[in-house]
Every structure is written in C-alpha cells, then in structure tokens.
C-alpha cells in the first residue's frame, strides 16, 4: 500500500487520484472521531470537509506534513475545540449519539460501560470529562491509538496524556458506578414492593 507521505507528494503535484485515495483512507476514521466528540453527524462531516480543505491549502503552500495522520487528527481536534468554545455549541443539545464499547486493559471501566442501556447515560458520563480528556479517551478507545500517537496528535507531553487518561477513566468509573448502584437500588425496591405469594399448603 502506498504511504501517506507519497500520496501527499502526489497530491501536491495535482494528482486527483492521489487525493481521492487519501480521502478514502481517512474520511471515515476522522468522521467517526469527530462525531463522537461533537455528538452530531452533520457537524462532524463539516469538520471533516474543513480538515481536508486545510490540508489542500497546506499542500498548495508547498508544506507537506511530516506525519500526515497525526496532522489530520490534530487539525480536526482543533476545529472541534473551536466549536466547543462557540456560542452555538453552548446553546445546542448534544445528547444524540451512543458511545460504543471497545475492550481494553481497563476492564473494570469497560464492564461498567457494558451495563449501561441508554444513550443518555453514556453521554452524561462523557460530559463529566474535560475537552482534553474526551479527546484522549476517544482516540485511545475508539481509534485504537497508542499513547505516543495521541501525544503527537494533541501536541501534549506523553506524561500528560497518561495522567489525563488515568484521571478520565477514574472519573468515568465513579460516575458510571453510581448509575449502576442507582439502577440496582431501584430494582431492589421494586422487588421488595411485590406482594408475597400466599401458600395454600397446610
């Protein structure tokens, strides 16, 4: 398979086929990433389009990103950050998308996720994270990226990424555990409120 770097070189020379191949390679992953951050498929598509437009502008200025994948995710992340800080974002209801589960070494957190049944519960837990933590969790669990890749994409020290991921998972576990306990308590109350069957045996 032709490398990202070679595709960009060809794109810089005006090769339309190279552009289409590059878009085909990254359109879906970038869309999935931004959709999980923004909770809106249409806005995610807008971010994807803007990301590729900025890439073309970069290439026209003869500046080819050294690490294309990291560059794309970094640009997409920054566009999402700009949207989060906008008045438009603060005025909209973003609870629309379910967060899928990816198995990872933090099994206890994932097990709690698997017990959640509604989209609202999933999204409510994410809202407890900072912007940076949301990005790190999404890249780690849903894009299956290594911590070093995430550090490069978000332009953060590796230690900061590790610390943010640790605190994010700890926070998520606490929030989701409370939801599970609450649900268990409700179920217990329902069970206790049921009338006992009267025995007919003597």
CATH number reported for the structural domain that contains residue 41 in this entry = 1.10.1740.10
Domain boundary among 93, 112, 132: 93
* CA distances in angstroms from 72 to 5, 48, 158, listed in the order given: 13, 9, 19
Q: What is the pLDDT of residues 65-102, one digit of tens each?
A: 989 999 999 999 999 988 877 756 555 544 344 334 33
Whole-number Å distance between alpha carbons of 124 and 113: 12
Give the range of the structural domain holding residue 152, as residue numbers without chain letter. 98-193
Per DSSP, 198 falls in state P
Same domain assignment for residues 82 and 27: yes
Place of tokens 């032709």: 2
More confident residue, 146 or 185: 146
Same domain assignment for residues 102 and 184: yes
Q: Span 13-29, mean pLDDT?
A: 95
Same domain assignment for residues 144 and 125: yes
Contact of 116 with 88, CB cutoff 8 Å? no
Q: What is the pLDDT of residue 95?
A: 39
Same domain assignment for residues 148 and 108: yes
Average pLDDT, the chain: 77
On the CB side of 11, how many CA atoms lie within 13 Å of its CA?
A: 27
How many separate domains does the chain show? 2
Contact of 71 with 65, CB cutoff 8 Å? yes
Contact of 150 with 139, CB cutoff 8 Å? yes
Identify whether 135 is part of a domain.
Answer: yes
């Amino acid at each position: 398979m032709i490398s990202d770097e070679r595709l960009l070189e060809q794109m810089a020379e005006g090769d339309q086929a190279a552009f289409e191949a590059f878009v085909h390679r990254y359109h879906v992953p970038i869309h999935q990433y931004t959709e999980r951050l923004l909770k809106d498929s249409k806005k995610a598509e807008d971010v994807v389009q803007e990301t590729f437009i900025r890439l073309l502008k970069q290439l026209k200025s003869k500046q080819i990103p050294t690490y294309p994948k990291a560059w794309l995710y970094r640009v997409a992340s920054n566009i999402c950050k700009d949207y989060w800080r906008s008045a438009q974002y603060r005025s909209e209801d973003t609870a629309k998308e379910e967060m899928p589960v990816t198995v990872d070494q933090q099994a206890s957190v994932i097990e709690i996720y698997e017990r959640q049944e509604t989209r609202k519960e999933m999204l409510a837990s994410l809202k407890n994270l900072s912007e940076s933590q949301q990005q790190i969790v999404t890249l780690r669990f849903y894009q299956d990226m290594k911590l070093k890749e995430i550090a490069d994409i978000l332009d953060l020290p590796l230690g900061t990424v590790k610390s943010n991921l640790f605190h994010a998972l700890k926070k998520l576990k606490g929030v989701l555990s409370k939801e599970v306990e609450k649900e268990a308590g409700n179920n217990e109350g329902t069970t206790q409120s049921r009338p006992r069957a009267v025995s007919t045996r003597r």
